[in-house]
Chain A
Amino acid sequence: MTRLTDELLMKNLKNGDTKSLGVLYERYKRILFTFFIRTIQDRDTSNDLLMETFERIYKYRNSYSGTKKARPWIFQIASNLTKDYYKKSGKLETIDKLKQEILMVQPELPDETKSRNRLLHAALYKLKPHQRNIINMYYLLEMTYEDIAINENISINNARIKVCRALKNLKELLKDSEL
């Protein structure tokens, strides 16, 4: 079986084949949902944003340039949605431990790994939204510095520095842990 590329699926979608959107959804739903959970910290909102991402992909399918990669285009839509969310909500909620447990489902992992992941999540949540966003863009969505630079309207070098500064802050937040 040949796996259709994202770009071909987008082309098919533009030509009216809505099934292609279903294939893209299956391909990206988990990573996008995780991105929203880690950035927004709310499961219901993350579900809404996941849905909105694909509604926007459908709505703006004709503005997608066939010469560019579809993956960063999709991720830019998702990243912009998180920014819009913060603009609308205006403030960053703090998150208690119980909510953290609910947010981060970790089936069948050793206790030590679960504990380490919880520490990381807690530290991530304490970062400023734009820093959390940039870390998730780079290390979860695996966007390149170039894609981040375009998305954030900054230089590539600046994108690299911003990732580094966010990591340093994360390290600072983890200083009392064993990580």
Chain B
Amino acid sequence: MKEDQFDKDIMDYIDGVSSEVTNKDAYEQAKHLKQIVISLKEIPLQSVSRIADDRFYQFIAEKSTNVRSVLTLKQWLPFVMAAASIIILFVVLNNYKGFEDDYRALSSNPEKLSFIYNLNEQQLRTKDIDWLTAELKNEISPNIKVTIVDLLANYQSKLDNEFYNSLQSESIPSVQMALLNSLESSENIDFSNELLVFNQRKDLDKTVRQKVKNILSNQ
């Protein structure tokens, strides 16, 4: 019991709850332990490898595609309204640098994925949306493309036509699915006729073709 009390006094001293320890021996020990604690806290954190990042973003891209297909229009409404507010702000503020330069400075796909994910915490302006829309057409990595579609879906009210145009030129099934998910939740424009034409493409993946059929049958 006595030792427990010493330990408690020592920890109070190390934690800064009290400035002294009554027992002299315990006090000497506490001072030494505190020095060790200070050194422990100074050991730097380790960096996560790109492979680990890539693995995580692969996982989340898969989950994202699955989840998006079951999202309802009601769940998207706040995003659409937020996007509308951002766009209004845009018109007022012109002198804005955007995120493109920072993105261009990145060299690896995991870094790019991470950067785009973090843009979900930002309020994108027209300049960023235009850049990301162009990036969607030029990017090669399916993971990055799907992530961009997810990000841009937050600003969907302005982008339905862009999504449709991207769908026309897109050949990667996972990206086609992400674009179709976005178009599915659109309430602004009816793409039924265009989707019927799209579904005639001979190179379509079976899953994508079924997705188009489902969208058309739900309309």
Contact = CB atoms under 8 A, between A and B. Distances in A.
A173 B120 CA distance: 47
B171 interface: no
How large, as a class, is the contact surface on chain A?
Answer: 35 or more
Interface in A1-52: 1, 3-4, 15-16, 18-23, 25-26, 29-31, 33-34, 37, 47, 50-51
- Chain A CB count within 10 A is highest, among B36, B67, B68, for B36
A163 interface: yes
B36 A179 contact: yes
Given A50-B48, A179-B36, A15 B75 contact: yes
B42 interface: yes
A170 B40 CA distance: 11
A19 B11 CA distance: 40
B150 interface: yes
Interface residues of B, number: 47
B35 interface: yes
Contacts of B67: 16, 18
Contact of A30 (B46, B59, B120): B46
A162 B90 CA distance: 56
A174 B39 CA distance: 12
A33 B150 contact: no
Contacts of A149: none
A19 B10 CA distance: 44
B35 A179 contact: yes
B64 A26 contact: no
B188 to A, nearest CB: 21
A165 B53 CA distance: 36
Q: What is the interface of chain A mostly: helix, strand, loop, or mixed?
A: helix
A55 B62 CA distance: 12
**Main SS of chain B's interface residues?**
helix
Given A33-B52, A164-B7, A106 B121 contact: no
A171 interface: yes
B123 A1 contact: yes
B43 A121 contact: yes
B33 A168 contact: yes
A22 B55 contact: no
B40 A47 contact: no
Interface in B112-135: 114, 117-118, 120-123
A109 interface: yes
A37 B40 CA distance: 14
A19 B49 contact: no
B32 interface: yes
B75 A47 contact: no
A171 B38 CA distance: 13
Given A18-B64, A22-B120, A23-B120, 4 more contacts: A37-B46, A157-B4, A168-B29, A179-B39
Interface of A: 1, 3-4, 15-16, 18-23, 25-26, 29-31, 33-34, 37, 47, 50-51, 54-55, 58, 104-107, 109, 113, 116-117, 120-121, 135, 139-140, 157, 160-161, 163-165, 167-168, 170-171, 174, 179
